[in-house]
Structure 1
Amino acid sequence: MFTNFTLRHVPPLFVATALTFGGLMPFFNAEYAILEFGLPERIASSKAAQSIMIISSARITAIGLSIFTFCFQEKFAAVDTKLTILGYVGLVDGYVCWLEDVPSTAIVRIISGALIAAWGWFGMTAVQ
């Protein structure tokens, strides 16, 4: 299990950790998680938004767990595919933050999503 670990595996493991454990945050304090995401207080205090954040976070945690699973199964091409697809998530996150008038958060979300997607697109995890 994960006998071929190299430094190129650190970024996907970091992403998996952030998604898995960051995705658990709303289960304990959804309002705080929304604020940490970068959205304004008027959204964070909404009980409806908090419910949606919890539902969404379960899916993000599942993505993080799938990245961990593929890493430990040494299916690194699958890890790169997941990372590439996460670029879409970063774009949507940035778009929503932009619409909610938090442009600095939007830019960070878009750039980090693009960097994660580029890592996967170029097959950096699976490279031999």
Structure 2
Amino acid sequence: MFEQFELRHIPPLLLASIWTVGGLMSFTHGPEEAILTYGLSKKIASSQAAWPLIKIEGSRITTIGLAIWGIYLGGHLEAMDTLLACIGWMAVIDGVVCAKDGAAGSARMRASYQGVVALWGWFGMTSGKYI
């Protein structure tokens, strides 16, 4: 059942909202801008061969955002923390890919913010498990 709102729920709900809407960027602002915003190089962003891939990636990010909201609204806060902890894998992969093919600073930015999200989940901050 849905649990009472607490301030510690704000960060993952903000992330869920950003990802739900942000995943649509390749459709609303175009795939080239979405690729640049992701942090990849201009060379990759201007390659039309990459455009379908950012649309696919965007759909997955929107799906994760919707899943976070669904899990929250269902009152499954420990499951929400588990999903957030799994985002650590995205931090590793995004960091590696952006370090190789991204714009300057994109690897550090991606790995850092997704790493914080993963640690938030790992330490059970949404559910209050370890607080």
- Alignment TM-score > 0.5, same fold: yes
Displacement over 2 Å in runs of 4+: none
Residue in structure 1 matched with residue 23 of structure 2 by the alignment: 23
- Aligned residue for 1:4, secondary structure, equals coil
Write the distance in 1 (CA, Å) between the matches of 2:4 and 2:104: 40
Q: Where do 5+ consecutive residues of structure 2 fail to align?
A: none
Match of 1:104 in 2: 105
Aligned to 1:38: 39
Aligned to 1:69: 70
1:4 matched residue in structure 2: 4
Residue 125 of structure 1 aligns with which residue? 126
Deviations 1:89-108 (A, max 9, x none): 12211111100153411001
Identity %: 43
Q: Per the alignment, in what secondary structure is the counterpart of residue 123 of structure 1?
A: coil
- Equivalent position amino acid for 1:111 in 2: S
The alignment covers a number of residue pairs equal to 128
Structure 1, gaps ≥5 residues long: none
Q: Deviations over 1:8-50 (max 9, x none)?
A: 0001101101211110101221111111111111111111111
CA distance in 1, matches of 2:59, 2:101: 23
2:48 is the counterpart of 1:47:
yes
1-side partners of 2:11 and 2:41: how far apart?
A: 29
TM-score by length of 1: 0.93
Instruction: State how far apart, in whole Å, the 1-side matches of 2:108 and 2:24 are.
Output: 24
